[in-house]
Amino acid sequence: MTFIGEMAALFTSLCWSISAIGFTQSTERVGSWVTNRVRVLLAMLMLILINALLYSQPIPLHAGVSRWAWLSISGIIGLSLGDAFLFQAYKEIGPRLGLLLLSLAPVFGAAIAWIFFGQVLNLHQIAGIIITLAGISWVVLARPNEQSENVRKATGRGVLFGVLAALGQATGLVFSQQGMTGNFSPFAGTLIRMLAAFVTLWIVAGFQKQAGATVVSMRRQPSAFGWVAFGALFGPVLGLSASLLAVQHADIGVASTLMALPPVFMLPISYFVFKERFGWQVVAGTLLAIAGVALLFFS
């Protein structure tokens, strides 16, 4: 199918934008770290069920050592470390600047894929990436509504966390691509990544004596559980599976750029769900990002 990788990457952005609703609601109730641990657990259980129904094998033990290694490392770097740095960036400098720094992921991804795996982009693709990132940056940097968002200044610590989050996401995608060679199922690949992230996060929680506290927090806020489940379905389950399909059929630079569009997809969600209003800069940035996406498709 033509553009299957690009379409999967766009669907990934849409899913991640929808999942942001659930994770935002949950984080307000139980905090980001509890949300992160529970979302990985729920996503893992959902993926086990999906693999059992689709392939009659809950866990893809047939995948082979090499594929398990690539995808496990990808899960640890991208889902555990990368997301941990992203949450810290949100805490230090807020989601607006955090998303801007996360949009560096396509640049890191393309550089890593070029240096280590010899993937080269043509001039049209490079131009499309630059235009798309410019549009995303314009959207994210647009002056916020001071009545609905606290304006935070960039700090060296916050910027460092944001850059490390982008590097983690990009490295995770590159490793995922190496583990997704052939026609391996994206649902099976996502489950392997999720298993690695689950083990890592919950072992760390055990050492920090936070595992029990996570369960207690969910019991005290039962509504948060529903929101985490909602976010887990659209984010780690559907979104991440689509991202693996994307890197199977598209260059890392192109796929990661299209997967950097959640700030743009969040516009209608923020307008209708959170009742936010935007200025002309946000609209212009959105149109610029769409133009960059179109150039990627027709390169």
Tell me if 202 is assigned to some domain: yes
Poorest-confidence range of 24-28, 70-74, 200-204, 269-273?
Answer: 269-273
What is the reported pLDDT for 260? Answer: 82
Tell whether the model's pLDDT for residue 274 goes beyond 70. Answer: no
Tell me if 21 is assigned to some domain: yes
User: How many structural domains is the chain composed of?
Assistant: 1
Tell me if 128 is assigned to some domain: no
What is the reported pLDDT for 152? Answer: 54
Tell me if 103 is assigned to some domain: yes
Which of left, alpha, beta for 31 (phi over 0: left; psi -120 to 50: alpha)?
Answer: left
Tell me if 263 is assigned to some domain: no
Tell me if 166 is assigned to some domain: yes
Instruction: Please report, rounded to a whole number, the percentage of residues in the chain having pLDDT higher than 70.
Output: 92
Tell me if 89 is assigned to some domain: yes
Tell me if 133 is assigned to some domain: no
When pLDDT is averaged across residues 168-173 and rounded to a whole number, the result is 90
What is the reported pLDDT for 44? Answer: 96
pTM above 0.85, yes or no: no
What is the reported pLDDT for 77? Answer: 94
pLDDT in tens, 107-148: 788 788 888 878 777 888 888 888 988 888 887 777 655 555
Q: Which domain holds residue 39?
A: 15-120+149-248
Coil/strand/helix, residue 197: helix
The alpha carbon dihedral of 78, 81, 83, 85 has a sign of negative
When pLDDT is averaged across residues 5-31 and rounded to a whole number, the result is 87
